[in-house]
Amino acid sequence: MQDLIEHFENYGPKTLPFDQWLADVLEVPLATVQPFLGKIQYRKVEKNEFLIMPGTVCPYTYYVERGVLRMYTIDGSGKEHVIQFAPEGWYITDRKSTYLDEPSSYFIQAIEDCDLALIPKHFLQDISKKYPQLLEKNTFILNRYIMLLQHRVTLLLSATAEERYLDFLSTYKDFIHRVPLYMLASYLGITPESLSRVRNELAKG
């Protein structure tokens, strides 16, 4: 249980090559990981480059070794809505598109130059056939992510602009300096003007 608590308290970006992430976070011995790494592609993308766009199937889960990705959607009135950021040590995907082979309704875009590992659909499942213990650790990680999403739903339904901003600060720490403010406002579900007001008020103390 302690590891789950630590996962919660260290949710900032963490630079970790993908094979090391498998070893350190999923706790799969490097020797076990090795034969599977041939299925992983590595890719560099430049700031602003797109990995997926609406209407295309998202074939991979993208693990970030360096840089930041964001996933967003555009509503009927042309407004962007940021669903997720993924800095170092995180992964991002439109799971519905990846798992069900359906066209995505999201954009995934680099907001910094990135080094990525491209994880194909059944990668973890394939390793788990050789090393079932992986699933226990992965269950922790999925539960942790559910907690974060449930917390985000709660904030979107019930929290003020200031509460949302402070929550982001405390959870994601210095990462905040790497995200343009208009994207942060979009992620928080508030207007850029509200975000500026909150930041000015907090700066005044």
Binding region for a second copy (CB under 8 A)? 1, 4-5, 8, 73, 75-76, 79, 81-84, 95-96, 99-100, 125, 128, 132, 135-136, 138-139, 142-143, 145-147, 149-154, 156-160, 186, 189
The CB-of-75 to a second copy minimum distance in angstroms stands at 4
How far apart (Å, rounded) are the C-alpha atoms in residues 89 and 67?
Answer: 10
Per the CB < 8 A criterion, the answer to whether 42 and 67 are in contact is no
The CB-of-83 to a second copy minimum distance in angstroms stands at 6
Tokens of 54: 């609406």
The CB-of-46 to a second copy minimum distance in angstroms stands at 26
Q: In terms of CB distance, is 174 or 193 closer to a second copy?
A: 193
Specify the amino acid at residue 74. I
Q: In terms of CB distance, is 157 or 203 closer to a second copy?
A: 157
How far apart (Å, rounded) are the C-alpha atoms in residues 6 and 171?
Answer: 13
Q: In terms of CB distance, is 44 or 54 closer to a second copy?
A: 54
The three-class DSSP label of residue 52 is strand
Per the CB < 8 A criterion, the answer to whether 140 and 50 are in contact is no
